[in-house]
């Protein structure tokens, strides 16, 4: 039997976003784009929170390193960088360490750097923009593997993440079976619609009211 992660990897962000919408959950977030390798990322979240002030007692380790060390193959590191685009919250050495551990990718609500290195590694980073400016002295890791906020969506450690060129979506772990199952139904229906188009059926018939009902919008 396929795991939920394996099933998620057979989908795309659009189908998952539609499923979240249909179930009354928050759909794909806005503003996070593929910065390096353009391929689908899907897995369970390992979370990091960054802030402009260091934690009480100061930072004990470089930001992101806790996540890289603890994440397993196929996990996705999710970084709450408070939507900052003036300095990087992820960089090349972290990408190399993550790639060596077979981590599936990184989603960061903010800027990242060393993008050329990530491209050479075929390591996907989804974020707001590339920037060369260092985090040093500007941003600090204040928590690791705790609940974080990514563009208004609460993300807990172990939640499911999917990202592709269309966007990034988060699935609460407790609703994963329901969301993924709904997304699979949507994906199957859309494949049938494409097949009907290729057979010559008019698009006005293929994309009728039934399409909106399928997405739970009418």
pLDDT digits (tens, 9 = 90+) for 11-66: 999 999 999 999 999 999 999 999 999 899 999 999 999 999 988 877 778 999 99
Q: How confident is the model at residue 218 (pLDDT cuts 50, 70, 90)?
A: very low
Q: Give 71's strand partners.
A: none
Condensed to tens digits (0 to 9), the pLDDT of residues 85-111 reads 999 999 999 999 999 999 999 999 999
pLDDT at 207: 85
Locate 58 and state its tokens: 């100061």
Query: Could you report the per-residue pLDDT of 147-187, keeping only the tens digit for each?
Result: 999 999 999 999 999 999 999 999 999 999 999 999 999 99
Domain boundaries along the sequence of the chain: 4-178
Does residue 213 surpass a pLDDT of 90? Answer: no
pLDDT of 208 higher than 90:
no
Between the alpha carbon of residue 80 and those of residues 18, 130, 147, 156, 198, the distances in Å are 24, 16, 10, 12, 43
Tell me the average pLDDT across 123-148.
97
Mention the CATH class of domain 4-178.
alpha beta
Among candidate residues 46, 50, 52, the one with its CA nearest the CA of residue 105 = 46
Q: What is the pTM of this model?
A: 0.93
Among residues 122, 119, 104, the alpha carbon closest in space to that of 8 is found at 104
């Amino acid at each position: 039997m396929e795991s939920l992660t394996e099933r998620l990897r057979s989908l795309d962000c659009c189908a998952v976003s539609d499923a979240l919408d249909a179930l009354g959950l928050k759909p794909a977030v806005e503003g996070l784009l593929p910065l390096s390798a353009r391929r689908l990322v899907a897995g369970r979240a390992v979370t990091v929170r960054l802030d402009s002030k260091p934690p009480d007692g100061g930072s004990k380790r470089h930001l992101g390193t806790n996540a890289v060390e603890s994440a397993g193959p196929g996990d996705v590191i999710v970084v709450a960088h408070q939507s900052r685009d003036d300095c990087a919250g992820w960089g090349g050495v972290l990408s190399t360490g993550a790639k060596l551990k077979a981590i599936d990718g990184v989603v960061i609500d903010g800027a990242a750097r060393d993008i050329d290195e990530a491209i050479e590694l075929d390591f996907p980073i989804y974020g707001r923009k590339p920037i060369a400016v260092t985090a040093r002295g500007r941003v600090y890791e204040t928590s690791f593997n705790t609940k974080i906020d990514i563009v208004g969506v609460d993300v807990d450690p172990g939640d499911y993440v999917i990202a592709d060129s269309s966007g990034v979506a988060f699935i609460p772990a407790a609703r994963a079976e329901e969301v993924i199952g709904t997304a699979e139904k949507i994906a199957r229906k859309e494949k049938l619609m494409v097949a009907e188009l290729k057979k010559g059926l008019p698009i006005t018939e293929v994309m009728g009211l039934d399409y909106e009902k399928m997405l739970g919008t009418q």
